[in-house]
Structure 1
Amino acid sequence: MENNTNTIQPKLFPALLFLGLGGITVSLLTNNMILLGGLISLPILLIVSYQILCNPLILFLIIFTINYYLMGLTRYVDLSGISFLMDILMLSTLLLIIIHSALLKNIRWKYGINTLTIGSFIWMIYCFAEITNPSGMLEAWILSRGLIINGFIISLIISLLCVQYKTVKLIIFMFSIFALTAFLKAAMQKFIGFDRGEQLWLNRGGALTHLIASGTRYFSFFTDAGNFGSNMGCAGVIFSIAACYIKPKPLKIYYGIVAIASLYAMLLSGTRGAMIVPLGGLALLIVLSKNIKIITIGSLSLLCIYVFFAFTMIGQNNAQIRRMRTAFTPTEDASFNVRKANKERLANYLKNKPFGEGIGLSGVENQKMSYRFTTSIPHDSWYVKIWVETGIVGITLYLGFLFITIAHGAWIIMFRIKNQELKGLLSGLLCGITGMLLSAYGNAFWGQYPTNIIAFTGLALVLKGEYFDNEINGNNNEEKTEVL
């Protein structure tokens, strides 16, 4: 059998090459560009497909990349149903993991059991039970499937597939490229202007919240400025810390540049709620460091930032700084007072609804599902959204497992990791994601692309910190899945 295979392969390759070149020639002669594109793309697709079958992690990295640019593409291309495609890709990754586990025995399922996967699994079960909510709607529930399943699937995939420290560094490096492109797009919007797709999006309603009296709020290729600003704040925290701990000097300089660009992009977004991301991240870093020098510098930095925005008028002629400054005096802001009044109205409505109105039935964007009291009021907050849809029970469960995960990750970083570079990279991830979670109180972006997948990916990596530390120190003797 082996000899037959060896004799067939040399004959098969020239035949396929001949057919391919013949097809390309015919497509050029007939000016059939669709056929030409298909013939050129086919070998690439076959090679990528083969690599994905051999290594499911590649498929996750593809998902991670698509996730970041997905919503920007929708301004130029009709991608209706794209969220369903993302679900298919994630489920396909899980299926490949199961196949590898069954056939190759190279998946260690015990690493799939941690605080995050258990918490997100319980949350998923609770959301399935929400189908029985008397005021809920099945169609709205189905359209909210990302809220229900994505956290569990992503955390499980990362926990099972990321078994080498170099994978952590690869994911962080990929994220740095994404953040840099997001900054560049926002800079183009500011210094060159909006392109046709962006202007059309603004004309269709985006201008109401982005072209305002206090200045333009830039949004890059994100869903909106709120999502963009908080993500850039997260990237600024991650790469500020990473630049201090990463060893290669060129990478240290590069991450420093990405950090500065990201924090500047956060200011360009004009999102006041994004200010809590670097502040919350810095506060957590102070706790994680257990270092008197860092505690002192960090505390003084927090104090200086607060004094700068709350008690001075420095930079007041700059629209971005002027808008950010209002975050430190919220009671003087009209929109803050409107949000506060809306929450009081919702609280009165929900006092006899401990399980909420039903998944997918909050916020004015869901009026197409059902026009009711909860869809007549903007939720303006991810926390409020979860509270309205799943009740006090749901919001307690959801925030409970996330903050327990963060606390567990902090304990791992503080007491279980010895390698300083790894400690720094994971601290950056945990601080940045925690800052975004705090920012979600003022913006309903946590469940949107790309935030949700980035957050659960980072948290899952942090929880595997001890495993990576053992690998670095040569203490991991167990068989591992071969990854990138």
Structure 2
Amino acid sequence: MANSLHTQAKAITTLFLVIGLGCIAYCALFGTLESIIIITILPLIGYVLICAFNKPVIAVYALFILNYFLIAWIRYTETTGRSVWIDILFVIISVMVIVHSILMKDIPWKLALNCLTLGGGLWAIYCLAEILNPTADTEAWIMSRSTIYNIFFISVLSSVLFTEIKQIRVLLFIFSILSSISIIKVFCQRYIGFDPIEQQWLDTEGGITHLIASGTRYFSIFTDAGNFGSNMGLVTVLFGILSIFTTKRAFRIYYLILAVLGIYALFLSGTRGALAVPLGGLLLFSLISKNFKLMTITGIIGLTIYIFFAHTYIGQGNPMIRRMRTTFRPTEDASFNVRKENQRKLAQYLKDKPFGEGLGLSGGNARRFSNRFTANIPNDSTYVKIWVETGIVGLILFLALLIITFLRCCYIIMFRIKDKELRGMLIAMLCGIFGLMISAYGNAFFNQFPTQIIVFAFFAIILNGPYIEQKLTQSQTIK
């Protein structure tokens, strides 16, 4: 079966190549740059799809990569509606997994039944029902479709496809490459300057929040500096911890360099709330590592960082350090007080709206649908955004999904996983997720691209930990 699929892949790739060359010639004469790029990579797309029938996890790798570059694609093609490609890819992957399961009968569907997928399913049903909310807007609800079903789809797909430790190694390496690209890009912004497309965005809308008195906030290929900074916090925690558990010296050095560059990139973002990611990650690491030496070292590092920012004025002349220091002195920060006042106003408005205002109807972006009260108050927080759009009922449901899954993951890592390498990978992912969960209180990035898919894919992999270790033990026994 595998050889047959490989032969088909070659034949179809050749066909795509011939068709593609003809289309490139046509587009070069009459098409746009975007159409030329799409046609150029058509043979690769065809080959990946055929290979994915044999190994469906390859399609999830492709989803992971597209998810990471989607915002950059939207920005540089200057068009809208590109998120539909994620929707299409979800459908394609789902069909491929089902067909592969029917033919090969090797998809462990029982893994799809866990607290994450059940919670994601309930969340999807609740968000679908939000269309019945009297204050909902149909267009805003449709444009919020990723909020509705992304959690469920990525949780199910990751649960049934990431079943071997080598797949996790590949995914983390892919993520390291993607992170390296985003770091290189922010260095280009900082030391070379913004390109014309980025400068246009800053001149039209982004400059209000990114060109501020304390300095420029850099955003790399992400939606904004808040999203970028929090993801760089994830890079710092994830690869910092991986560098401890990785046995190969070359990878240890590579991951350690990434972690250091990640924290520097976090500072370049100027996102104060993003500091919660490495600090929260260190805190959790010290609690679940069950290694006294590591607990002591991480505890000292975390305490040193806290004392440096909260109780000293060292480096106060540096605008990045000065801005980050206000995170630990929130009452002295004017923007923090404005946020608290905004939350007070929203609480008053929502007191008789247990199901919220409706999906897509909070924050400045909502003004394209309706110029209502909630569209004119920044939410500045993932949890506030969910509260405004889905009400206290939706917020409780979403937090329950996160907290129950998080606690289950902690239990699995602490008491079910024995293999050192696998345990290190899962700890690194969970510590990064925990930091993002904390940071989401101060930044509305958690359900944006690429963060949402990263978080819930990692969650699903951690829940699969016992099954992955069981297969690993069996393979070692056979050898």
Q: 1:32 to 1:201 in 2, by over 3 A?
A: closer
User: Deviations 1:14-70 (Å, cap 9, x if unpaired)?
Assistant: xx89x959x979998999697999997665444333212322222211110011111
User: Deviations 1:258-281 (Å, cap 9, x if unpaired)?
Assistant: 111111101110100001000111
Q: 1:292 to 1:376 in 2, by over 3 A?
A: same
Cross-structure match for 1:482: none
Q: What CA distance in whole angstroms lies between the structure 2 residues aligned with 1:299 and 1:27?
A: 57
Q: 1:162 to 1:27 in 2, by over 3 A?
A: closer
Which residues in structure 2 correspond to 1:57-96 (within 5 Å)?
57-96=57-96
Cross-structure match for 1:105: 105
* 1:420 partner letter: K
Cross-structure match for 2:187: 187
Q: Which runs of 5+ in 1 are unaligned?
A: 478-484
Cross-structure match for 1:247: 247
How far is the alpha carbon of 1:245 from its aligned partner?
A: 0.1
- The more displaced of 356-365 and 213-222 is 356-365
Q: What CA distance in whole angstroms lies between the structure 1 residues aligned with 2:22 and 2:340?
A: 67
2:226 is equivalent to residue 226 of structure 1: yes
Q: Is the Cα–Cα contact under 8 Å of residues 409 and 430 in structure 2 kept in the other structure?
A: yes
User: Deviations 1:98-147 (Å, cap 9, x if unpaired)?
Assistant: 12222322212101111111111111111122222111122211111101
Q: What CA distance in whole angstroms lies between the structure 2 residues aligned with 1:145 and 1:422?
A: 34
Structure index of larger Rg = 1
Cross-structure match for 1:418: 418
- The more displaced of 431-440 and 463-472 is 463-472
Q: 1:469 to 1:208 in 2, by over 3 A?
A: same
Q: Is the Cα–Cα contact under 8 Å of residues 277 and 435 in structure 2 kept in the other structure?
A: yes
Q: Is the Cα–Cα contact under 8 Å of residues 27 and 33 in structure 1 kept in the other structure?
A: no
Cross-structure match for 1:49: 49
Q: Is the Cα–Cα contact under 8 Å of residues 27 and 36 in structure 2 kept in the other structure?
A: no
Q: Is the Cα–Cα contact under 8 Å of residues 273 and 327 in structure 2 kept in the other structure?
A: yes
Q: What CA distance in whole angstroms lies between the structure 1 residues aligned with 2:24 and 2:223?
A: 39
Cross-structure match for 2:403: 403
User: Deviations 1:359-378 (Å, cap 9, x if unpaired)?
Assistant: 11111210111111111211
How far is the alpha carbon of 1:314 from its aligned partner?
A: 1.0
Q: What CA distance in whole angstroms lies between the structure 1 residues aligned with 2:114 and 2:182?
A: 32
2:469 is equivalent to residue 469 of structure 1: yes
Q: 1:157 to 1:195 in 2, by over 3 A?
A: same
2:264 is equivalent to residue 261 of structure 1: no
* 1:369 partner letter: F
User: Deviations 1:423-446 (Å, cap 9, x if unpaired)?
Assistant: 111101000011011101011011
Aligned-pair identity (%): 49
Q: 1:340 to 1:249 in 2, by over 3 A?
A: same
- DSSP-derived class of the 2:77 partner: coil
How far is the alpha carbon of 1:294 from its aligned partner?
A: 2.1
Q: What CA distance in whole angstroms lies between the structure 1 residues aligned with 2:226 and 2:59?
A: 29
Q: 1:254 to 1:36 in 2, by over 3 A?
A: closer
Cross-structure match for 1:273: 273
**How many residues of Structure 1 are paired with residues of Structure 2 in the alignment?**
465
Which residues in structure 2 correspond to 1:300-339 (within 5 Å)?
300-339=300-339
* 2:224 partner letter: D
* 1:319 partner letter: P
**TM-score for the superposition, normalised by structure 1:** 0.90
Q: What CA distance in whole angstroms lies between the structure 1 residues aligned with 2:23 and 2:468?
A: 53
C-alpha RMSD of matched pairs (Å): 2.7
Which residues in structure 2 correspond to 1:351-366 (within 5 Å)?
351-366=351-366
* 2:328 partner letter: F
User: Deviations 1:284-314 (Å, cap 9, x if unpaired)?
Assistant: 1111112222222222222211110011111
Q: What CA distance in whole angstroms lies between the structure 1 residues aligned with 2:191 and 2:26?
A: 44
Q: Is the Cα–Cα contact under 8 Å of residues 137 and 358 in structure 1 kept in the other structure?
A: yes
Q: 1:37 to 1:304 in 2, by over 3 A?
A: closer
**TM-score for the superposition, normalised by structure 2:** 0.91
User: Deviations 1:215-258 (Å, cap 9, x if unpaired)?
Assistant: 11111111100000000001110000000001111111111111
Q: Is the Cα–Cα contact under 8 Å of residues 218 and 270 in structure 1 kept in the other structure?
A: yes
Q: 1:20 to 1:63 in 2, by over 3 A?
A: closer
Q: Which runs of 5+ in 2 are unaligned?
A: none
Cross-structure match for 1:130: 130
Cross-structure match for 2:164: 164
* 1:52 partner letter: A
Q: What CA distance in whole angstroms lies between the structure 2 residues aligned with 1:77 and 1:48?
A: 24
User: Deviations 1:140-189 (Å, cap 9, x if unpaired)?
Assistant: 11111101100110010000111111000110111111111111111111
Q: What CA distance in whole angstroms lies between the structure 2 residues aligned with 1:25 and 1:346?
A: 56
